[in-house]
């Protein structure tokens, strides 16, 4: 019995330590966002008079506009991905449409290093005179969000029995109606998770944002990087900017935990 | 074409259309770029130079250095993430109370935009402003996190902080999908916890483990934000990862043709991994 | 009206033939069961009638209308799947009413009709529930309700009872039959369970390897199987098959056992004997040994070993006197009950 007890306490201690490790930087940043410059010089200052200086500075510098742009890009990207992806995922899953080649293409497009596609996007943007706008960014984000959303959905459609669609067809519906009215509703939770996950991926991207839209229409992560100077005085505002970026997605992440694994592995691992 | 085929095609069409524009077109254009001497600062039109870019890239010590650096980075980061992830997953599996909230909190780091993580650690580890060096100093330890010899390891640890949760997520799901009976049978037969783990749990976990490790490795080798946030490739070229090196060639030196060739070389290296991952996923799904 | 005609229906994938040039008629109002071992093509045939599988060649006609090229929705059929395929996101009422959405029936009317049907199936109080809150038997009735509401020409059933436990299966069987008789809709039912086939059908189609082995009423198929395959497939416990020779008055096995058997046929033969026609008498000098006695209430199944052959006999519980495991018995054939089969072709022989 004591053996199990010891293991149990070890386990709890370990998890506690892991939690501290995870929360510590986040809490530290949160505190830093409320500290003034002199307060920041003492890193371990825990109890202090909070100040909204950094927050005001960051809002005036346009952080909300940057967040708005991030949301716009992510929103458009995810909407297109969801619409194009659900129909495709459905036939890929239930009809094996496109075969292994299509599924491989979707996987490869997800894990493709951005370095491969970014230069063409940049060049084409210059040629079409849309450089430093959000348009090339949307296409760039589509290049990885669409495959991810589709991949996610394939995993969820895999769990829907084929007989459901057949029943609907026998009951008098066309294949498309059967998909829309019967099969798609079964994966609504998975679709929700895919959309949130896709949104997060787009929201978090900095590489494409930095290269394609560096200044005028900078998205949030790029704006955050803008606070990165070698002068420590920007730390407070940077922390506030970081929190603006982090809080929405972390909260959203709480809602999709259960579906994440099935989606990420494309159905290979089910929760 | 039969009606089934027509239906399948119509459903795939939107995806194919978007993919053609967002992935296919750029991919071919990148290939074209890699065969020219295109440069953003050049005045005249780009000239076709065939394999010249590839030759110069393949003989570029900087590129090979970057490949080596990235390989080291991935090796360190993913190893730590796998071991830690497994330990955390095992602990979480057995946890009784406040399970969901613990899990939710532990998974939070992977949703933070990487640049924020990089910048946070940059300051957290900063000598004057960072809490961690202050803590170490109070214990009498002095460690230059981003200095020569340590920088790459530190960056790998940042990766570990952010992405161990990803491993935890997959491994926990894998653990929970393992049938309980073999383990119960073994316990009835008198086997100890460690033996059960080594001989039963671990082998059954191999499919999920390999998928997780592959996915994570493919993602880790794209590391850019941490480098950009902290060392910008330094000290020297110690933390010049492939994506950062390519970025520099293309954006800082404007040599897009050359940068594209480097990207394709990277792609060639990565392709076998993707194929391997694909095979693994296929096998798990069709069990 | 609901007649179904299959003419030369053939299904093949490359070199593999699943169903071979099937010709079959389903009269209006009949209840036909397609039965056979796994892989015999019964499900494929059903799905071709439904339109869920394409026909490689041949034609399917419903009410003399060629539907071979039509989608399932245009064939005026209803189908019940093995797992009932109830729509999980809809309530019982919505499930039953769902097919009416395709015909653009107004919502109110659809709901009223669905409620009527639910009531007639004993589901009246459950209409607000979702499928996962129902028991297996209730789910099955919802599936049937959904099939009924369209008033189709043909009912198709793909092993709908396989998911139920034995007792429920028997109860639901009789309910199904009652509904079909009441509505008079032509039904085609697929099962691998020969007992189910026997009880439900007025016409049985025994299939094997994509071809029809025998068509007939249950009594015909049971009483006059046209091949060893059908004879051993239908009826449980399985028919006993003995190899030997006939000389007009006796049947003799190679080991030398013989029984009186009058026949017109001479020469090598396979004799089939249903277990209930194999009579046992306790006999210390008997040729067969009892290896097992399984008491099934009013009857017992007695397993025997005769030299190298295993035989089964069914004995009334009251007649078990003197019979015990390990004991020896002598065997008798019930008069006129022997089935004769050609040893090479394994087809029925007259006489």
Q: What is the pLDDT of residues B220-265, one digit of tens each?
A: 999 999 999 888 887 888 899 999 999 888 888 888 888 888 899 9
Structure tokens belonging to residue A85:
């992806």
Measured CA distances, A218 to A20, B44, B253 (Å): 33, 30, 22
- The rounded distance, in Å, linking the Cα atoms of C115 and C322 is 60
Considering its fold, how many domains does chain A have in total?
1
Confidence of residue B287 (pLDDT cuts 50, 70, 90): very low
> Phi/psi zone of residue C105: left (φ > 0), alpha (ψ -120 to 50 degrees), beta?
beta
Residues of A in contact with C103 (CB under 8 A): 172
- The answer to the question of residue B224 being in a domain is yes
- The answer to the question of residue B23 being in a domain is no
Q: Which H, E and C letters describe chain B, residue by residue? A: CCHHHHHHHHHHHHHHHHHHHHHHHHHHHHHHHHCECCCCCCCCCCCECCCHHHHHHHCCHHHHHHHHHHHHHHHHHHHHHHHHHHHHHHHHHHCCCCHHHHHHHHHHHHHCCHHHHHHHHHHHCCCCCCHHHHHHHHCCCCCCCCCCCCHHHHHHHHHHHHHHHHHHHHHHHHHHCCCCHHHHHHHHCCCCHHHHHHHHHHHHHHHHHHHHHHHHHHHHCCCCHHHHHCCCCCCCCCCCCHHHHHHHHHHHCCCHHHHHHHHHHHHHHHHHHHHHHHHHHHHHHCC
All chains having 3 or more CB pairs closer than 8 angstroms to chain C: A
Nearest-CA distance A97 → chain C (Å): 17
- The answer to the question of residue A67 being in a domain is yes
The reply to whether A167 touches chain C by the CB within 8 Å rule is yes
CATH (domain of A225) = 1.10.3720.10
Nearest-CA distance A186 → chain C (Å): 7
The reply to whether A127 touches chain B by the CB within 8 Å rule is no
The reply to whether B69 touches chain A by the CB within 8 Å rule is no
The reply to whether A159 touches chain C by the CB within 8 Å rule is no
Determine, for residues A206 and B277 on separate chains, whether the beta-carbon distance falls below 8 Å: no
- The rounded distance, in Å, linking the Cα atoms of B223 and B227 is 7
- The number of C-alpha atoms within 13 Å of C79 and in the hemisphere containing its C-beta is 30
The reply to whether B131 touches chain A by the CB within 8 Å rule is yes
Interface list for B 143-162 with A (CB within 8 A): 161
Q: Is the ipTM of this complex over 0.90?
A: no
Nearest-CA distance A18 → chain B (Å): 8
Confidence of residue B125 (pLDDT cuts 50, 70, 90): confident
- The answer to the question of residue A118 being in a domain is yes
CB B104 within 8 A of CB A257: yes
Determine, for residues A161 and C146 on separate chains, whether the beta-carbon distance falls below 8 Å: no
- The rounded distance, in Å, linking the Cα atoms of B167 and C218 is 61
**pLDDT number for residue A269:** 67
The sign of the CA dihedral B42, B45, B47, B52 is positive
Q: What is the pLDDT of residues A175-212, one digit of tens each?
A: 999 999 999 999 998 899 999 999 999 999 999 998 88
Q: What is the pLDDT of residues B60-104, one digit of tens each?
A: 888 899 999 999 999 999 999 999 999 999 888 887 777 778 888
Residues of A in contact with C99 (CB under 8 A): 171-172
- The answer to the question of residue A39 being in a domain is no
CATH (domain of B174) = 1.10.3720.10
- The answer to the question of residue A52 being in a domain is no
Interface list for B 8-37 with A (CB within 8 A): 8-9, 11-12, 14-19, 21-23, 25-27, 29-30, 33
Q: What is the pLDDT of residues A5-41, one digit of tens each?
A: 887 888 888 888 999 999 999 988 888 888 877 777 7
For chain C, domain boundaries: 4-233, 240-341
- The answer to the question of residue B47 being in a domain is no
The reply to whether B220 touches chain A by the CB within 8 Å rule is no
Per-residue pLDDT tens digits of chain C, which is 351 residues long: 789 999 999 999 888 888 988 999 999 999 999 999 988 899 999 999 999 999 999 999 999 899 999 999 999 999 999 888 899 999 999 999 999 998 888 889 999 999 999 998 888 888 889 998 998 888 888 999 999 998 899 999 999 888 788 888 888 888 888 888 888 999 999 999 888 899 888 899 999 999 999 999 999 999 888 888 999 899 888 898 888 888 888 888 888 888 888 888 888 888 888 998 888 888 888 788 889 888 888 888 989 888 888 888 888 888 888 788 888 888 888 877 888 888 776 666 665
- The answer to the question of residue A199 being in a domain is yes
Q: What is the mean pLDDT of residues A157-171?
A: 92
The reply to whether A172 touches chain C by the CB within 8 Å rule is yes
- The answer to the question of residue B20 being in a domain is no
- The rounded distance, in Å, linking the Cα atoms of C52 and C73 is 10
Rounded to the nearest integer, the mean pLDDT of chain B is 86
CB A178 within 8 A of CB A137: no
Nearest-CA distance B50 → chain A (Å): 18
**Between C73, C101, C146, which is nearest A169 by CB?**
C73
Nearest-CA distance A200 → chain C (Å): 28
Sheet containing C203-208: give its strands across.
C77-80, C154-158, C186-191, C31-35, C203-208, C211-216
Strand partners, A255: none
- Give the domain range for residue A242: 63-264
- The answer to the question of residue B107 being in a domain is yes
> Phi/psi zone of residue A128: left (φ > 0), alpha (ψ -120 to 50 degrees), beta?
alpha
Mutation target to probe the A interface, by most A beta carbons within 10 A, among C46, C47, C52 is C52
All chains having 3 or more CB pairs closer than 8 angstroms to chain A: B, C
pTM beyond 0.80: the answer is yes
- Give the domain range for residue B230: 60-285
Instruction: Determine the residue of chain C that is closest to A177 in CA distance.
Output: C102
- The answer to the question of residue A214 being in a domain is yes
- The answer to the question of residue A54 being in a domain is no
**Between A166, A172, A173, which is nearest C52 by CB?**
A166
Instruction: Determine the residue of chain C that is closest to A168 in CA distance.
Output: C99
User: For the domain C4-233, what is the CATH code?
Assistant: 3.40.50.300
Q: What is the mean pLDDT of residues A241-269?
A: 81
Sequence-separated (6 or more) residues with CB below 8 Å from residue C283? C328, C329, C330
Instruction: Tell me the fold of C240-341.
Output: OB fold (Dihydrolipoamide Acetyltransferase, E2P) (2.40.50)
Instruction: Determine the residue of chain A that is closest to C52 in CA distance.
Output: A166
Nearest-CA distance B55 → chain A (Å): 18
Mutation target to probe the C interface, by most C beta carbons within 10 A, among A161, A167, A180, A190 is A167
- The rounded distance, in Å, linking the Cα atoms of A169 and A163 is 10
Instruction: Determine the residue of chain B that is closest to A177 in CA distance.
Output: B7
Interface list for A 198-227 with C (CB within 8 A): none
Rounded to the nearest integer, the mean pLDDT of chain A is 86
Q: What is the mean pLDDT of residues B129-138?
A: 80
């Amino acid at each position: 019995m004591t053996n199990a007890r010891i293991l149990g306490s070890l386990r709890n201690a370990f998890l506690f330590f892991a939690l501290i490790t995870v929360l510590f930087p986040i809490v530290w940043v949160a505190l830093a966002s409320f500290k003034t410059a002199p307060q920041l010089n003492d890193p371990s200052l825990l109890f202090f008079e909070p100040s909204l200086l950094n927050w005001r500075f960051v809002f005036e510098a346009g952080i909300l506009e940057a967040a708005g742009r991030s949301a716009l890009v992510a929103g458009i990207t995810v909407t297109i991905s969801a619409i194009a992806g659900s129909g495709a995922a459905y036939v890929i899953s239930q009809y094996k449409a496109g075969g292994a080649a299509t599924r491989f293409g979707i996987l490869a497009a997800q894990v493709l290093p951005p370095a491969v596609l970014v230069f063409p996007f940049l060049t084409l943007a210059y040629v079409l005179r849309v450089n430093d706008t959000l348009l090339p960014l949307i296409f760039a984000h589509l290049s990885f969000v669409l495959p991810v959303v589709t991949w996610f959905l394939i995993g969820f459609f895999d769990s829907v029995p084929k007989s459901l669609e057949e029943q609907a067809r026998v009951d008098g519906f066309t294949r498309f109606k059967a998909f829309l009215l019967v099969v798609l509703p079964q994966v609504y939770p998975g679709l929700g998770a895919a959309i949130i996950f896709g949104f997060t991926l787009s929201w978090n991207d900095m590489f494409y944002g930095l290269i394609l839209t560096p200044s005028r229409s900078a998205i949030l992560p790029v704006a955050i990087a803008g606070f990165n100077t070698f002068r420590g005085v920007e730390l407070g505002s940077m922390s506030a900017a970081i929190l603006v970026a982090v809080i929405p997605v972390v909260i959203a992440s709480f809602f999709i935990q259960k579906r994440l694994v099935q989606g990420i592995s494309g159905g290979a691992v089910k929760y | 074409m039969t009606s089934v085929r027509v239906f399948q095609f119509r459903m795939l069409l939107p995806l194919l259309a978007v993919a053609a524009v967002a992935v296919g077109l750029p991919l071919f254009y990148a290939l074209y770029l890699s065969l020219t001497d295109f440069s953003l600062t050049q005045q005249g039109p780009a000239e076709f130079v065939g394999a010249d870019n590839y030759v110069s890239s393949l003989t570029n010590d900087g590129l090979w250095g970057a490949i080596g650096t990235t390989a080291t980075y991935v090796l360190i980061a993913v190893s730590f993430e796998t071991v830690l992830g497994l330990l955390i997953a095992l602990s979480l599996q057995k946890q009784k109370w406040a399970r969901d909230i613990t899990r939710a909190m532990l998974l939070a780091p992977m949703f933070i935009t990487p640049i924020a993580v990089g910048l946070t650690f940059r300051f957290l580890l900063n000598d004057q402003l960072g809490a961690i060096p202050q803590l170490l100093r109070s214990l009498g330890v002095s460690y230059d996190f981003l200095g020569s010899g340590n920088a790459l390891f530190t960056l790998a640890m940042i990766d570990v902080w952010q992405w161990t949760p990803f491993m935890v997520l997959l491994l926990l799901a894998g653990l929970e999908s393992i049938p309980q009976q073999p383990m119960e049978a073994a316990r009835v037969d008198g086997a100890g916890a460690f033996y059960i783990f080594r001989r039963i749990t671990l082998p059954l976990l191999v499919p999920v483990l390999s998928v997780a490790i592959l996915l994570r490795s493919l993602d880790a080798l794209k590391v850019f934000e941490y480098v950009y946030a902290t060392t910008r490739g330094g000290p020297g070229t110690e933390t010049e990862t492939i994506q950062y090196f390519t970025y520099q060639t293309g954006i800082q030196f404007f040599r897009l043709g050359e940068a594209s060739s480097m990207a394709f070389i990277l792609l060639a290296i990565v392709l076998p991994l993707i194929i391997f991952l694909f095979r693994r996923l296929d096998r798990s799904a069709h069990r | 009206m609901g007649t179904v005609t299959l003419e030369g229906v053939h299904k093949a994938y490359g070199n593999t033939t699943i169903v071979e040039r099937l010709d079959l008629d389903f009269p209006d109002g009949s209840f036909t069961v397609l039965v056979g071992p796994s892989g015999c093509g019964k499900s494929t045939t059903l799905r071709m009638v439904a339109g869920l599988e394409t026909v490689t060649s041949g034609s399917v006609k419903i009410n003399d209308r060629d539907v071979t090229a039509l989608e399932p929705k245009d064939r005026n059929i209803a189908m019940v799947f093995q797992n009932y395929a109830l729509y999980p996101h809809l309530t019982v009422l919505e499930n039953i009413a769902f097919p009416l959405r395709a015909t653009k029936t107004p919502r109110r009317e659809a709901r009223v009709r669905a409620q009527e049907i639910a009531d007639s199936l004993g589901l009246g109080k459950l209409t607000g529930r979702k499928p996962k809150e129902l028991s297996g038997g209730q789910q099955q009735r919802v599936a049937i309700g959904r099939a009924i509401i369209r008033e189709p020409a043909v009912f198709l059933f793909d092993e709908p009872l396989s998911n139920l436990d034995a007792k429920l299966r028997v109860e639901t069987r009789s309910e199904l039959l009652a509904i079909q008789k009441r509505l008079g809709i032509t039904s085609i039912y697929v099962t691998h369970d020969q007992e189910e086939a026997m009880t439900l059908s007025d016409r049985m189609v025994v299939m094997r390897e994509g071809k029809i082995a025998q068509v007939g009423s249950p009594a015909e198929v049971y009483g006059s199987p046209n091949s060893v395959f059908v004879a051993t497939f239908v009826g449980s416990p399985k028919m006993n098959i003995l190899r030997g020779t006939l000389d007009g008055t006796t049947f003799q096995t190679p080991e030398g056992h013989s029984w009186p058997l009058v026949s017109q046929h001479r020469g090598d033969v396979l004799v089939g004997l249903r277990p209930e026609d194999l009579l046992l008498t306790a006999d210390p000098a008997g040729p067969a040994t009892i290896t097992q006695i399984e008491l099934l209430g009013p009857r017992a199944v007695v397993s025997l070993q005769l030299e190298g052959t295993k035989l089964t006999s069914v004995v009334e519980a009251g007649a078990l006197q003197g019979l015990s495991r390990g004991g020896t018995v002598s065997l008798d054939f019930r008069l006129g009950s022997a089935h004769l089969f050609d040893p090479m072709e394994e087809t029925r022989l007259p006489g």
